[in-house]
Amino acid sequence: MTVAESSGAAAVAEFLRARREQLAQQWADLALFRAVYTSGRDIAVNAAHGLVDALTEVARDGRMDDVTVPALDQVRALLAQVIAARSQAGAGPLQVAGEVAELKRPVIAMVGRELADVNRGAALIAATDLMGTVRLVGMEISLSDEGAIVARQRQQLSEIATPVLKLWDRVVAVPLIGTLDSARTQVVMETLLEAIVDERATVAILDITGVPLVDTVVAQHLMKTALAVRLMGARCVVSGIRPQIAQTIVQLGIDLGDITTRATLADALEWALAQVGTSVGRA
Amino acid sequence: MQRVSVHRLGEVLLASLQQELTDSLAVALQQDLTGMAAAGTRGVIIDISQVEIVDSFLARVLAEIAAATRILAGRTVVCGMRPSVAITMVEMGLGLPGLHTTRSLEDALTLLEAGEVSP
Amino acid sequence: MTTAAVMSLPITSDLEIAGVRQAVREAAVAAGFSLVEQTKVVTAASELARNTLVHGGGGRLEITMLERPQGKGIRLRFRDEGPGIADVETALSDGYTTGHGLGLGLGGARRLVQEFAIDTGPGRGTTVTVTAWPRGARRV
């Protein structure tokens, strides 16, 4: 990496950090985000925040045009979700690629407009490289079967009724498996809240052992669900937070608020039983 | 004018909201409860199991009842919220700050009798 | 997309806000909304009708049934001839309140519907138009 390249990357990283909000707002209005996050604009903005943050990490890493750097994993995961939703909605790979390519324009326009002369040249090159990489990753996802597979799995998952298990008198649990997007969150919330009514439950356990990725959007969905449970007059505990997910949560600076969390379903059940006034010994 | 009736059960005041609540009815209830919650009242229970929507106005009235009751050394418990209402409130970004929530009226009475939960 | 105007309701008292909630509920049921979807659009209507009454000095709601191949939807247009809103962005932001709610009226209503448009300005009155579709009919 040359000095000019690394200073360009650093300028882009700093730019993305400082302009996180403005950029997310602009991205949220693009077809890619608008078409996926139909339930509300702030959800789209939130998803866009996630992508800006992931790209900031790539820029910090400095290798803007290398599609193999580990820093791109988060970008790839976020794009895979969005692209899967687009292809599920019937958008072809070319259309999706076009929509991913649209992400570039606001970045380049803002860098060109806002950075000081001394940084602008190197930063423009770095930003162009970075957005080119994003486009490539997008192509890779929509052309590979990955996007289609994720879409198919998502379709299958939303078709399966979310199972809510009665674990104990007044304790229900829902094991979440797969991606937790806003459509699925709605289904989970409705099913869980209905089960709380039917089972007269006072504790609900959300087990996320089977959720592969927890980003800011997923965390927000978890918090919404926990808050709805609390409004209903029950308590909520989130279990199955694997070490690498806990690490991601810390790295992304996600604040889970005052949600009770436990490492395993067994720990959560123990907590739940204490809440309903039952104690069980554990070996 | 029509009013939400408030019942006294020992040291507890109970109001059951009907399905359709106008803003002025909610404000009248707030005044009635605040007036009745004199010394010796442990708390207020508001049963919303029949309520089909809670918007920001009703949420504010409930929060203000809780705040007024707290000054008079009592607690306010909202019980029986419907799933559709809870989901909508969460989507809007509404919470019920300062209020306790329970599933049922029985749970609300138990909570007020136990008296160990902090707001 | 085909449309058919259904009805126009006055909003001049809080009893009429209750009437708005009832009419919007019936329209949502007719369009095939689930219970949760009905609750969301009725709650949004309640917030917007209150804005029309309190800030606009009263006005009207027009309910339109929409139809496209994927399903039916409803459009609600709240119109008043009041003072209008000078700073729409601020009015839409959470925590903005003129003392009648929790500062979530407009912003909260926007989160409950699929489309939200506001046309206002000082001295021009305010028109808020929202559109809600049931889940199956959302993707265009």
Is the domain of A137 the same as that of A172? no
Backbone region of residue A216 per phi and psi (left: phi > 0; alpha: psi in -120 to 50; beta: other values):
alpha
Q: Quick one: pLDDT at residue A281?
A: 55
CATH number at residue B40: 3.30.750.24
Q: Quick one: pLDDT at residue A248?
A: 81
Decide which of 1.20.1260.10, 3.30.565.10, 3.60.20.10, 3.20.20.70 is the CATH code for C2-137. Answer: 3.30.565.10
Rounded to the nearest 10 degrees, the angle between the axes of helix A3-18 and helix A104-114 is 100
A227 with B103: Cβ contact below 8 A: no
Percent of chain A, pLDDT > 70? 90
Number of H helices, E strands in chain A: 13, 5
Q: Is pLDDT above 50 for A225?
A: yes
Three-state secondary structure call for residue C132 = strand
Smallest Cα–Cα separation from A58: which of A73, A44, A78, A40? A73
**A96, A138 in Cβ contact below 8 A?**
yes
**A150, A179 in Cβ contact below 8 A?**
yes
Mean pLDDT of chain C: 87
Q: Give the domain extent around B32.
A: 6-103
Whether the CB of B113 is below 8 Å from some CB of chain C: the reply is no
For residue A283, tell me if it sits in a domain: no
Band the pLDDT of C94: cuts 50, 70, 90.
low
Smallest Cα–Cα separation from A264: which of A236, A241, A237, A230? A241
CA distance B117 to chain A (A): 12
Is the domain of A107 the same as that of A209? no
Whole-number Å distance between alpha carbons of B21 and A189: 26
Whether the CB of A35 is below 8 Å from some CB of chain C: the reply is yes
| Nearest-CB residue to C138 (from A38, A41, A42) | A38
For residue B77, tell me if it sits in a domain: yes
**C95, C132 in Cβ contact below 8 A?**
no
Is the domain of A60 the same as that of A19? yes
For residue A281, tell me if it sits in a domain: no
Whole-number Å distance between alpha carbons of B103 and B78: 9
Q: Is pLDDT above 80 for A89?
A: no
Is the domain of A11 the same as that of A148? yes
Query: Once rounded to an integer, what is the mean pLDDT over residues C14-33?
Result: 94
The pLDDT tens digits of the residues spanning A146-170 come to: 556 665 666 556 546 578 899 999 9
Whole-number Å distance between alpha carbons of A270 and A224: 23
Structure tokens at B89: 């409130």
Give the residue on A whose Cα is nearest the Cα of C109: A40
The pLDDT tens digits of the residues spanning B42-93 come to: 899 999 999 999 999 999 999 999 988 888 768 899 999 999 999 999 999 8
Query: Once rounded to an integer, what is the mean pLDDT over residues A192-197?
Result: 94
For residue A123, tell me if it sits in a domain: yes
The CA-based angle A196-B111-B95, given to 5 degrees, is 60
Whole-number Å distance between alpha carbons of C4 and B113: 56
Q: What are phi and psi of A168, to 5 degrees?
A: -165, 170
Band the pLDDT of C102: cuts 50, 70, 90.
very low
Q: Is pLDDT above 90 for A181?
A: no
Q: Quick one: pLDDT at residue C77?
A: 97
CA distance A118 to chain B (A): 44
Q: Quick one: pLDDT at residue B73?
A: 66
Domain boundary, last residue among A152, A184, A210: A152
Whether the CB of B119 is below 8 Å from some CB of chain A: the reply is no
Is the domain of A7 the same as that of A147? yes
Interfacial C residues in 20-59 facing A (CB < 8 Å): 36
Q: Is pLDDT above 80 for C100?
A: no
Is the domain of A247 the same as that of A221? yes
CB pairs under 8 A between B and C: 74
The number of beta carbons lying within 10 Å of the beta carbon of residue A273 is 18
For the ranges A220-224, A250-254, A277-281, C66-70, which has the lowest average pLDDT? A277-281
Q: Where is pLDDT greater, at C107 or B114?
A: C107
Q: Quick one: pLDDT at residue C76?
A: 97
Interfacial B residues in 46-65 facing C (CB < 8 Å): 52-57, 59-60, 63
A224 with B81: Cβ contact below 8 A: no
Q: Where is pLDDT greater, at A81 or C62?
A: C62
| Chain mean position to CA A163 | 23
Query: Once rounded to an integer, what is the mean pLDDT over residues A248-270?
Result: 85
Q: Give the domain extent around A142.
A: 3-152
Q: Is pLDDT above 60 for A30?
A: yes
For residue B49, tell me if it sits in a domain: yes
Contacts of C24 (CB under 8 A, 6+ apart): C41, C42, C45, C63, C74, C76
For residue A131, tell me if it sits in a domain: yes
Q: Quick one: pLDDT at residue A240?
A: 92
Q: Where is pLDDT greater, at A5 or A26?
A: A26
Q: Can you spell out the DSSP letters for B10-23?
A: TTEEEEE--SS--H
CB pairs under 8 A between A and B: 57
Q: Quick one: pLDDT at residue C43?
A: 97
For residue B10, tell me if it sits in a domain: yes
Domain boundary, last residue among A84, A119, A152: A152
Is the domain of A9 the same as that of A115? yes
C36 with B84: Cβ contact below 8 A: yes
For residue B51, tell me if it sits in a domain: yes
Contacts of B29 (CB under 8 A, 6+ apart): B3, B4, B6, B15, B17, B61, B65
Domain boundary, last residue among A152, A170, A203: A152
CA distance A37 to chain C (A): 10
Q: Where is pLDDT greater, at B78 or A279?
A: B78
Cα atoms found within 13 Å of the Cα of residue A117, Cβ hemisphere only: 0
The CA-based angle B52-C19-C28, given to 5 degrees, is 60
Q: Is pLDDT above 60 for A282?
A: no
Q: In b/e form, how buried is each residue of C118-136, taking b as 16+ CB within 10 angstroms?
A: bebeeeebbbbbbbbbbbe
Q: Quick one: pLDDT at residue A283?
A: 47
C40 with B88: Cβ contact below 8 A: yes
Q: Where is pLDDT greater, at A151 or A22?
A: A22
Percent of chain A, pLDDT > 90? 33
Q: Quick one: pLDDT at residue C104?
A: 60
The pLDDT tens digits of the residues spanning B17-35 come to: 987 888 999 999 998 888 8
Whether the CB of C93 is below 8 Å from some CB of chain A: the reply is no
Edge-to-edge order in the sheet of strand C2-11: C2-11, C59-68, C71-80, C126-132, C115-120
The total number of structural domains that make up chain B: 1
Whole-number Å distance between alpha carbons of A217 and A236: 19
For residue B16, tell me if it sits in a domain: yes
Q: Where is pLDDT greater, at C22 or A117?
A: C22
B52 with C42: Cβ contact below 8 A: yes
Interfacial B residues in 45-84 facing A (CB < 8 Å): 78-83
Q: Quick one: pLDDT at residue B50?
A: 94
The total number of structural domains that make up chain A: 2
Q: Can you spell out the DSSP letters for C37-73?
A: HHHHHHHHHHHHHHHHHHTTSSEEEEEEEEEETTEEE
Interfacial B residues in 86-115 facing A (CB < 8 Å): 86-87, 89-91, 95-96, 101-104, 107
Highest mean pLDDT out of A36-50, B46-60, C4-18: B46-60
Q: Quick one: pLDDT at residue A151?
A: 59
For the ranges A55-59, A103-107, A234-238, C93-97, which has the lowest average pLDDT? C93-97
Q: Quick one: pLDDT at residue B69?
A: 85
Partners of residue A190 in chain B, C-beta under 8 Å: 83, 87
Is the domain of A11 the same as that of A120? yes
Is the domain of A114 the same as that of A25? yes
ipTM of predicted assembly, 2 dp = 0.91
List helix spans (H) across B1-119: 23-36, 56-71, 83-92, 105-114
For residue B84, tell me if it sits in a domain: yes
Is the domain of A233 the same as that of A265? yes
**C44, C112 in Cβ contact below 8 A?**
yes
**B51, B21 in Cβ contact below 8 A?**
yes
Structure tokens at C24: 């919007």
Query: Once rounded to an integer, what is the mean pLDDT over residues C13-23?
Result: 94
Structure tokens at A179: 């991606």
Partners of residue A183 in chain C, C-beta under 8 Å: 135
CA distance C48 to chain B (A): 10
For residue B108, tell me if it sits in a domain: no
Whether the CB of A184 is below 8 Å from some CB of chain C: the reply is no
Three-state secondary structure call for residue A232 = coil
Three-state secondary structure call for residue C115 = strand
Contacts of A64 (CB under 8 A, 6+ apart): A5, A9, A12, A58, A126, A129, A130, A133
Q: Quick one: pLDDT at residue C80?
A: 94
Backbone region of residue C6 per phi and psi (left: phi > 0; alpha: psi in -120 to 50; beta: other values):
alpha
Whether the CB of A42 is below 8 Å from some CB of chain C: the reply is yes
Three-state secondary structure call for residue A91 = coil
| Chain mean position to CA C127 | 10
For the ranges A21-25, A95-99, A142-146, A254-258, which has the lowest average pLDDT? A142-146
Q: Is C95 exposed, middle or buried (0-12, 13-18, 19+ CB in 10 A)?
A: exposed
Contacts of A133 (CB under 8 A, 6+ apart): A58, A64, A65, A66, A67, A72
Is the domain of A62 the same as that of A146? yes
Beta-ladder partners of A260: A237
Is the domain of A111 the same as that of A242? no
Q: Is pLDDT above 80 for A144?
A: no
Q: Quick one: pLDDT at residue A271?
A: 93
CA distance B36 to chain C (A): 24
Whether the CB of C42 is below 8 Å from some CB of chain B: the reply is yes
